[in-house]
């Protein structure tokens, strides 16, 4: 994938968990669920809870500090008016997790 940045490998993130990764000068929370791999901003907008340490659902992440839940596909708050930024990922045949490069 041209212009994509390798940020991790599937083997780096156990299913049902998240990890904080650094790529292209930014920090991301990357999650592996039964539905796929997702990336979001690293902190909850409410009280800056570390989202990578939160509880994952099939398509959700719950902040570990105050139980605010977000949709990993869209970033929309499930039980809050807050939202989070999400980032598009792809997974290569070799298991490499790739972040789409930002448009110039």
Domain that holds residue 83: 5-99
Residue 30 within a domain:
yes
Please, which residues have CB within 8 angstroms of residue 78's CB and are 6 or more apart in sequence?
60, 69, 70, 71
Residue 10 within a domain:
yes
pLDDT bin (cut points 50, 70, 90) of residue 104 is: very low
Average pLDDT rounded to a whole number, residues 45-52: 94
Residue 13 within a domain:
yes
Give the pLDDT confidence of 67-98 residue by residue, as tens digits: 899 999 999 999 889 999 999 999 999 999 99
Q: What distance, in Å, lies between the first and last C-alpha atoms of the chain?
A: 16
**Strand blocks (E) in 1-104:** 5-9, 17-23, 26-33, 36-40, 55-56, 60-62, 69-71, 86-87, 89-91, 96-99
- pTM: predicted TM-score of the whole model, two decimal places: 0.91
Residue tagged 């049902």 (tokens):
16
Residue 104 within a domain:
no
Give the pLDDT confidence of 7-48 residue by residue, as tens digits: 999 999 999 999 999 988 899 999 999 999 999 999 999 889
14: CATH = 2.102.10.10
Overall number of domains in the chain: 1
């Amino acid at each position: 994938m041209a212009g994509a940045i390798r940020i991790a490998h599937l083997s780096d993130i156990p299913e049902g968990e998240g990890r904080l990764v650094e790529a292209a000068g930014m920090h991301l929370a990357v999650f592996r669920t039964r539905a796929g791999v997702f990336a979001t901003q690293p902190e909850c907008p409410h009280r800056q809870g570390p989202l990578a340490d939160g509880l994952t659902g099939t398509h959700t992440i719950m902040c570990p500090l105050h139980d605010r839940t977000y949709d990993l596909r869209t970033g929309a708050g499930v039980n809050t008016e807050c939202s989070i930024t999400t980032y598009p990922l792809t997974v290569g045949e070799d298991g490499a997790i790739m972040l789409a490069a930002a448009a110039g």
